[in-house]
Every structure is written in structure tokens, then in C-alpha cells.
Structure 1
Amino acid sequence: MSPTTNRALLCLLWGSALAVALATRPLLPIVEARYVSVAWEMWTRGDFLVPYLNGEPYPHKPPLLFWLIHGGWWLFGVNAWWPRLVCPLVGLLCLGQTALLARRLWPDQPEIARSAPWLLFGTLFFTFFYTLVQFDLLVTACTLLGLLGLLQAAQGQHRGFAFFGLAIGLGVLAKGPVILLHLFPAALLAPLWTSSGRSPRWFLGLFLALLGGAVIALAWAIPAAYSGGEAYREAIFWKQTAGRVVNSFAHRHPWWWYLPMLPLLLAPWVGWPSLWKRPEASGLRHLFKPGRVVCFEKRREHLPEASHRYPLAFLTTWLAPVFVGFSLVSGKQLKYLLPLLPGAILLFAATLDSRKQLITDSRAPAYYIGVTGLFFTLLPLAAPHLGLPRLATLPVWPGALLILASMIGLRFWRPVALAPTIRGMTAASALIIVLAHLGPIRALAPTYDVTEVAANIGRFQKAGVIVAHAGKYHGQFHFPGRLRRPLVVIPVSSIKTWANQHPKAVIVVYRNRFSPPLPTEGALGAWDYRGRSQNLMLWRASDLAKVLTNKR
């Protein structure tokens, strides 16, 4: 298969899964809707320096993602589809960067560069995550840009340090100083993977790159700090950086939490027997045998004498320190490891390429599709027992069809080469994401779609009615309702008092935040929300005050 056809097929899978996701799933509250609402508030205020949420400066995230959303709105007008297209486009960039990184590390083994993006897109976590409005793909792209710059610098091309500095600056604007943890271990440990890293010029280049990255980040941070006020200034310079590392109260987990999560991050490839069986001739383990580095030898013919690179050492100095660092930070989410995924995929790609003549389990796509079919067949049967009654109505025929396809594939299976097997596995991963969106995600989508509620809030605000929110508000209604005024946030414990003081106001409440839960009778409206039946409600303040009084 030609390289052009190879890339076109991958882009086709990328576009197909994305189209289905956009058609079947709304902006998910709380996270996706919140981030787009921040971009919306910046847009309506005409303030592109300080992010805002519900009328207050929002210090939790830098502005790069919001700026990218604004760029699309400037070109196409305000719409709901462009914010959901930004991160998939960044994900497509990451696929290309991963291929380029493989080409730089193994210039004589082009099959690694061809298979690496397929392996990355075939990773279920990546295939689902790239459809979400999140910051971590931006960090991944900045990380890959910085690492590509390091490899250029190791070849004696000083512009590589410029790319490294650009990656630092953009990474800080994407998600803060966490980009330093992703980039600097490989840079500081460069003597382990390149002789250029032993030169004082190397560390001078790193210092200048860090300085350049700081200039890029501070060009936004300093004006924003003065514009956003003292609390915002303190938050972006301390609380959202060192404060989170020292004591993160959100998503706290023990140091070992990531270890059992790795199979989920690396599925389905981590379960492919070709990576693990016969360790004397295949699998990842043989790459670490003392005195033997398969497919990671020096590339003297392509590099100056001072620039010999060891790909295994390069990947190890990138992945290992960062993984340990994230394990030591108290706040943990699996998505934080997304920037490491391309590195793990490169290890897989090199391992598979080193034994491509020994591949014997090319039936893996058929098994993969069969297991997927079994899951989609059993899901409707198990849904009532899982507290997901909406999924009980899903048809079982798609899963049965997949099982049948798997059986036919196994019956008429013939040995094929490594590349078609990888493409088949990746296509199966894309199919899983498509079926997940057409099945369970579409069934649950109405409970995550806040458009109707947000539109009602907007109508009340346009009529001059005060709208309040019971408990913490995450901004999930502002963009779906195109709201231009903040909601009044009232602690749940103070709702009764506030309602008596503002009887004509409207209050957004959640049944599960009250004990016993509020009745639906008398509410202006009640909607299913995040899987809970009629959990999201709008109440006239005077009516809610009466209900709360009667409950006492």
C-alpha cells in the first residue's frame, strides 16, 4: 500500500468516528460544556486575555484552547460544531507528529513510521478521547513538538531548540507548567541517548529555549494577571501550579493508582500476544536484555559523529521519569498520561517491526470484533442490573452481527502480514467507538443534553427574571443557552432564605442535593440529568420556598 493511501485510510477512519460522535453526542456536562462556556463568555465580553466563567475570572486553565475556539468562531461565526472540532484536529496533528518522531528515531525502518499512527489511533482511549473538548491533546501535541525539537538539536540543528522553546510556551498556554514535566526529563538526561547532550552548548540551548518559552507564556500571563485582579493573579502564579502539585484535593489517589490503569490506557495492543509471547525472540522484554538493543542501534550514516542517538534510551528518559512524577502527584486522572501514549506506541511499533516475520496471530482483529460483539450483546441484558434502564431497550442485533462477522473471519482466515493486521485492529477500534456512540451513548445522550434547560434559563433572563443556581455552578448552561448574564450561585443550605427574599426569581436545583429529594409537582420543569430521572429542575423561588417549608 502506498504511503498516500495509507494516510488516506487513516484519515477516513478519523473522520468517520468523529462524524458519528458529533451527530450522536451533545457537549457533555460538566467538563465539555464548561470549557466551551468559558470561551463563550470571553467572546461575549470581548475580553480575550482573561478566561471568565459565570462572570468571574476563571484561573483553572490557560487560554490556548479558548483562543483556538475563538479563531473558528471568527471565521465561521459562533456555532456548536467548531469547538468540538478543535481537539480532533489536534489529535490528527498528534498522529502526524508520532509518525515523524518514528521517522527521526528509525530512519532506515519506514514501516515503524507507517504503523505508529495506526497503533496510536487504534488505542481505544485515544480513539474516544480525541472526540472530546479537553486540554490534554494540546499538551500531547506540544510534548511531541518539543521532543522533535530535541532530536533536531541532537543532530546539530540549532533550530531544534527554537521548537523546544516554542513547545514550552505553547504548552504553558495549553495547560500550565505541567509541560515542563513532560519535556525536561528527556532534555536533561540527553547524555544517555546522544553524545551531543554532553556538550555545554546543549545545556545552553536548553536554557535559552526555557527562556524563550517563558517569554511566550509571560506575554499572556503578566497582562492577564493585572487585568484579572489580585485573586486571579495569585491563582495563576501559585495555586494552579505549585499548589496543585503539593496538595491536590481533586482526583486524589495513591501513588500506585496508575499501574493497574495502564492496561486500560494501552488497550487493545497491550493484550496482543505478539507483544508478549516467546520472550526469547519477541515481545517488549527482549528490548531490555543486557547487552542487546534490537532495532535501537546507532544511526551513523544519517547523523554527525557527535549526534548518535539511541531510540530506546530516548524513549526511556522520556517515559519513565514522567510516569514516576505523575505517580507522586496526589491528583490523578488517566487522561494526564495521554501525552505519554505516543511514546508507548513507538515502543510497540518498534517491537512489532522487529519480529514482523514471526507474526502468527493475525486473526487478532476477528477476535477483537467478536469480543466487542459479545459486549454489545450482553449490555442490554445487564443494563437493568447496572442501574441503566435506558440501555435495556438497545437492540442486540448489532452485537450479534459482530459476533457473526468474527466467526466468518475466523472461518476463512488466511495468514497476512503485520501491517494489514494492525490496520484491521485499528478499524475495529474505530468501529467500537462508532457502535458505542450509536448505541449506549446515544441512548444516554438525552440525559446529558442541557440545551432545553439552558434555553429556558435564557428566556427567563431576557424577561428580566433573576435566575439562581443551587450549589456549585460549573458553567454548563451558558453556551448551550447562549446566556449573557451570570447565574446567582446560592449554597444549598441557604436556598430557603434566599427564595423567600427573591420570590419572583427562578432557581436551578438538583433533586439529589436535597434530603428527601424534592417533588416534581409544582416545578416549572424537570429533566433527566446525567443518568438520573428528573433530577434537574427549574423552580419559581416562591413555590420552592413553600415546598422547603412544608418539608420541615
Structure 2
Amino acid sequence: MRSVLSSTLLFALTALTLILLRPLMPVDETRYMAAAWEMRIGGSAWVPHLNGALYGHKPPLLFWLINLVWALGGIAEFPARLIGPAFAAASVALTGLLARQLWPNQPDRAGAAALILAVSPVWLLFGSTTMFDAVLTCATLLAMLSLWSAAQQPRRAAWAALGAAVAFGVYAKGPVILLHVMPAAFTMALWAGPARPSGRVWAKGLGLALLAALLLVGLWLVPALILGGEEYRTEVLWRQSGGRMVASFAHQKPWWFFLALLPLMIWPFGWTRPGLAMLRPRRLLADPGTRLLALWAGGALTAFSLISGKQAHYLLPEMPALALMLAGGLPTRKWRRRDFWLALPLLAALAAFSAAATGLIPALRKLHDPLPLWSLALGTACLLIGIVGFLRLRSAPVALAALPLTLMIGLHLALSPLLFARYDMTALGRAVGPFDSAGIAVTDGTYHAQLNFAGRLLHPVARLASPEAVAAWRQAHPDGLLLDQNGLSIPGMTPFAALPYRGGTYTLYRSEEVAP
């Protein structure tokens, strides 16, 4: 397992580097930190709140963990940002463990699977964020380990472990865990070996696991539904579960969205001839382990493709399955110049850096925040190191792994000044914090509490959707602060500061009577 631990450490160090090179990103990361902050300052530990309102979109596990970190070491952003990556690192190790269980006679496959997952650009990006998907992936892997154990020996301990894993997933991100686990759980007869349990034994075991999961989830859900009232019950029991299956409330994408992402999800190991060979139907049906992986990944891909709401990170729990598949076909020969096409993403990044340095990217010109030449030079140097390593390193898998590692670090090195200039909420938080007691409002209806944690606000930020609402709020909060992104003049108020925010600017207004 030394190679598995090495890959886990490699991911952890790379994720730490990426975290240091970018701020807490709005709107997702800042929103979840704000929900944890409201729980900290007196909100309910059972029913999450966001900007003073019930927040039924996500279960509370991540918010509990953030508050646990704060209870141990004080309120700070950086330690809280390590929670998601910690679960992602654990998932790398669990991927190696699952490989050992699936193919005990192929010990090298565990290290290969862990390495493929650890350096995947998709895994590095989303696994290093403060989001729910790495925690959900950890739960999914535990469920797969339990399913495999139950297929070998259907003991009560295996079913109890499966129930605990499903409950863990519900606490992490809600009933969506079932979409990741059910395809494999319901198709045991298709993937298990000849010594598999009978259908009756398997059905009874799944029922026991479901009962265990319901009991564990009920420890939180029953009190939360009682305390949250009818609004929270509707949000949790319908909108965020069954409602999403029928019609998306956000993130609508075409059915082929995830299919289009597959090439990126399997790069670079899945772009090689041995890697592609492992994805052929004949190889996927070759043994119980690969059949389990195919049904796990294929079932989730089909289910999420049929749901209109899609985001790239929704299939993060299937990344270990892809890594386990590809681990059976590692390249062995040294790379040559004819293999240079495997580095196409790095070449594209180099071209983009050159365009940014010469002012040829219109979006950057509009922001008036050109990327400094020193950051582009650092990013370029990192990419070139990756390309040289790809051609010079003797171990073919290690040489191939150098490409995604240096791509992700190089992109962060190049873009870091822009990310901190445009996406860091620290300056805005300092600007709005002193007005917390006087009242703070925004005119954009899509406010996602991105200022609440940065400003350590104790009161909700008002969202004003009309000029009449602005006028009424100004009368009620004469000493308050108004933030606007539209650049329009606001009667009775004077702008006194402007701070960048993502692709625009937040202009800060105060009443004319008190404006400096």
C-alpha cells in the first residue's frame, strides 16, 4: 500500500498548493462558508440557514465539520478550507483499498488507480474546494466496498456498513447518494461472480441496509423537519430530491453534457492506447470487478444525463470508478515526440498565456485587470517543466502524471493575481463589516451570501429588487450601506467606493445626509 499512500500524499500536497493560490471562490464556496458561519453565530445546528433564511438545499454535515474545526482552532478561513480536500485525499486512499479488494492478485493496480485519481485535473479542481462532492465520493466508495463485501459474504456487518455509508452520503449531500449507489446495488446478478448470494438473500440484505440508513438519517432529519416547519419540509422532501428528478430548478444543461466532459475526465491516462483498451466493452465485462465499475459509473452517468440540472462536479463520485478501470491498462514504454499530442491541454494553456500577455483576450481587456507578466511567466515555466518531464522521466505512468499536475499548478500560478483581485471577498468584507449593525443591502437579486462570512456579519443582508424597495430601505436605514452592481444612480444616495467583484464592480453607496 506504499504506492497508494504516496499518491494520497501527492494529492494532498497538490491540493494544498492550489488552495494557497486561489481565494475562497464565490458563489459556491463563500455560500457554504456563510451557512457554517450562521450556524456558528447562533443559528440552528439542526436546520441550516443562509442570510437569515432557511437553507434546505444541502444537509448540515459540511457545516457541522467546519464548526468543529472552528471550535478546535478558532474561526479562520484556511483550516475550514481543508475539510473538502481531506475527504478527497481519503477517497484516493479508499480507491486503492477498493482496488485491492476487487483484484487481490493484482497488487500494483491499487497504486495505479490511486495515482490516476490523484492527478486527474477534474479531481484536483473539485477535490480541493469547499464543497460537498468529495465527502459524497468518500461515502460512495465506502458503499462500494460494502457491496463488494456483501457479494462475497452477505453478513449483517456488510449490510450495516452499507446502510451507514448511504446515511453518510445523505448527511453529505442528500438522497442523491442513491443515484450513485443504486445502479450497482440493484444489478448484483450482473456483476457478481458465480458464488454470488441468491436474489432473496440480496434483497433482504438491501432492506436491512435501507433500514439502517433510515434510522441513522432520522437522528437528524426528524428533529430538523419538526424545527424547520412546513417550508423546510417542502424544501428537503420535495424540491431537493424528487423535484430535481422531474424538473431542474437550476443548472439546466443538455442531455449530452456529461458525455462531452468524458474526454477531460479520463485525461491523460484514458487518452493512451492501453487506457482506451480498458474502456472497451469486452474488457469491462471481463471480470466481476470491472463489471461492478461499469454499472456503477454507467448507471450514474445515465441517471444524471436524464436529469436536466447538471454541473461538472455532479459526477465526481464516479471519478474513482474511471481511475480503477484505467488502472488495468497502464502504459509501459517511454514517451517519445510522436506522443506529444497527449500534452495538447498544456499546449493550449501555453497559447492562452501568450494571448493574455499580448492583450489578445477581450474578456481580460474588459476587466482592466491584465495578468502580470511575472505570473504568466511562472505558469509557463511550470507547463514547460511538465512537458520536459513527460519526455524525460523513465517511468511512463509517472511521466504521464506530470502533465495534469503541472497543468493545474501552472494555471493557478498564472491566474492567481486575477483570482485574488476579482474573486477574493476579503476587501469587500472589510468594507461592509463596520455597517453590520446599521444595515447592509444589495440591489442584485442573485445575492448568495458571499459577503456574510468575509464581513463576519451578524445580521442578514437585505436584497432589494426595485427602486421602491431601495427608497423604503434607505428611509429605514439612514446610516446603512447599499451595494450595487448595475452602475445606476440611486436617488438620495452617494457612491463613495467601488470594489471589483468577479466580472463586474460593487459600488458602495451611503445616504447623502451621512456620506463622507
**What TM-score results when the alignment is normalised by the length of structure 2?**
0.90
Please give the alpha-carbon distance, in whole angstroms, between the structure 1 residues aligned to 2:355 and 2:22.
19
Shift of 1:410: 7.6
- 1:385 maps to what in 2? 361
Q: Deviations over 1:273-330 (max 9, x none)?
A: 4434xxxxxx235x523xxx58944xxxxxxxxxxxx122211221222211111111
Name the residue aligned to 1:440.
Answer: 415
Q: Secondary structure at the match of 1:240?
A: helix
Q: What is the percent sequence identity of the aligned residues?
A: 33
- Report the CA distance between 1:23 and its aligned residue: 2.4
Query: Aligned to 1:177, which of 165, 175, 178?
Result: 175
1:504 pairs with 2:483: no
Uncovered stretches (5+) of structure 2, i.e. residues with no partner: none
Instruction: Name the SS of the counterpart of 2:82 in structure 1.
Output: helix
Structure 2: distance between partners of 1:500 and 1:46 = 27
The residue aligned with 1:302 is: none
Q: Which residue of structure 2 lines up, in the alignment, with residue 13 of structure 1? A: 10
State whether structure 2 residue 278 is matched by structure 1 residue 284. Answer: yes
What does residue 227 of structure 1 align with? 227
Letter in 1 for 2:416: I
Whether 1:138 and 2:135 are equivalent positions in the alignment is yes
SS of the residue aligned with 1:48?
A: coil
Q: Which has the larger radius of gyration?
A: 1
Please say if residues 495 and 510 of structure 2, whose CA atoms lie closer than 8 Å, have aligned partners that are also in contact. yes
Q: 1:410 to 1:337 in 2, by over 3 A?
A: closer
Of the candidates 394, 404, 407, which is equivalent to residue 373 of structure 2? 394
1:184-205 alpha-carbon deviations (Å, 9 max, x no partner): 1111100112242433111101
C-alpha distance in 1, partners of 2:249/2:103? 42
CA distance in 1, matches of 2:105, 2:473: 72
Say if 2:113 is the partner of 1:116.
Answer: yes
2:56 to 51, 55, 59: 59
Given the alignment, which residue of 418, 438, 441 partners 1:468?
441
> 1:211 & 1:294 partners in 2: Cα distance?
32
Change (3 A) 1:19 1:171: closer
Aligned equivalents of 1:53 and 1:140: distance in 2?
25
| 1:538 match: secondary structure | strand
Once the two structures are superposed, the pairs formed by residues 267-306 of structure 1 within 5 Å of their partners are 267-276=267-276, 283-284=277-278, 287-289=280-282, 293=283, 296-297=286-287
Q: Which stretch of the first structure deviates more once superposed, 452-461 or 54-63?
A: 452-461
Alignment deviations for residues 334-375 of structure 1 (CA, whole Å, 9 cap, x no partner): 1111111111111111133xxx56x46477699639627724
- CA separation in 2, counterparts of 1:224 and 1:406? 50
SS state of the match for residue 78, structure 1? coil
Q: CA 1:235/1:314 → structure 2, altered by over 3 Å: closer, same or farther?
A: same
What pairs up with 1:202-241 in 2 under 5 angstroms?
202-241=202-241
Superposed, 1:47-446 pairs within 5 Å as 47-158=44-155, 159-194=157-192, 195=194, 196-276=196-276, 283-284=277-278, 287-289=280-282, 293=283, 296-297=286-287, 310-352=288-330, 359=333, 361=335, 368=343, 371=347, 374-375=350-351, 377-381=353-357, 384-389=360-365, 390-395=369-374, 396-398=376-378, 401=381, 405=385, 413=392, 416=394, 420-446=395-421
d(CA) in 1 for partners of 2:494 and 2:257? 46
TM-score normalised by length of structure 1: 0.84
Distance in 1, matches of 2:273 and 2:484, equals: 48
Q: Is the 8 A contact 1:20 1:438 kept in 2?
A: no
Contact 2:278/2:328 (CA < 8 Å) preserved in 1? Answer: no
Q: 1:407–1:25: structure 2 CA closer, same or farther, 3 Å change rule?
A: closer
- d(CA) in 1 for partners of 2:370, 2:171: 40
In 1, the alpha carbon distance for the partners of 2:314 and 2:388 equals 39
RMSD value over aligned CA atoms? 2.8
**Contact 2:496-2:509 at 8 Å conserved across structures:** yes
Deviation at 1:172, TM superposition (A): 0.9
What are the superposed Cα offsets for residues 101-152 of structure 1, whole Å, 9 maximum, x if unpaired?
Answer: 1111111011111110110111111111111111111111111110100011
Aligned length: 504
1:529 aligns with 2:501: yes
2:41 alignment partner, SS class:
helix
Kindly provide the amino acid, as one letter, of the partner of residue 170 in structure 1.
Answer: F
The alpha-carbon deviation at position 455 of structure 1 amounts to 2.3
- Displacement of 1:91 in angstroms is 0.3
C-alpha contact (below 8 Å) 1:42/1:48 kept by paired residues: yes
Name the aligned partner's letter for residue 19 of structure 1.
Answer: L
Structure-2 separation of matches of 1:43 and 1:406: 43
CA shift in 2, pair 1:397/1:284, >3 Å: same
Deviations, residues 259-285 of structure 1 (Å, cap 9, x unaligned): 112112222333334434xxxxxx235
Contact 1:365/1:428, CA 8 A, preserved across alignment: no
Name the CA distance, whole Å, in 2 between partners of 1:403 and 1:501: 56
Name the CA distance, whole Å, in 2 between partners of 1:496 and 1:271. 55
Deviations along 1:166-190, one digit per CA (max 9) or x if unpaired, are 1111111111111111111111100
Q: Is the 8 A contact 1:526 1:536 kept in 2?
A: yes
SS of residue matched to 2:455: coil
The residue type equivalent to 2:377 in the other structure is W
Counterpart CA distance in 2 for 1:458 and 1:252 is: 35
Gap change, CA 1:318 and 1:383, over 3 Å in 2: farther
Is the 8 Å Cα contact of residues 179 and 300 (structure 2) preserved in structure 1? yes
Distance 2:159 2:130 in 1: 30
Partners in 1 of 2:359 and 2:469 — Cα distance?
A: 36
Aligned to 2:459, the other structure's residue is in SS state coil
CA distance, structure 1, for counterparts of residue 314 and residue 4 of structure 2: 28
Give the distance between the partners of 2:384 and 2:261, measured in 1 at CA.
31
CA deviation after TM superposition for structure 1 residue 13, in Å = 2.8
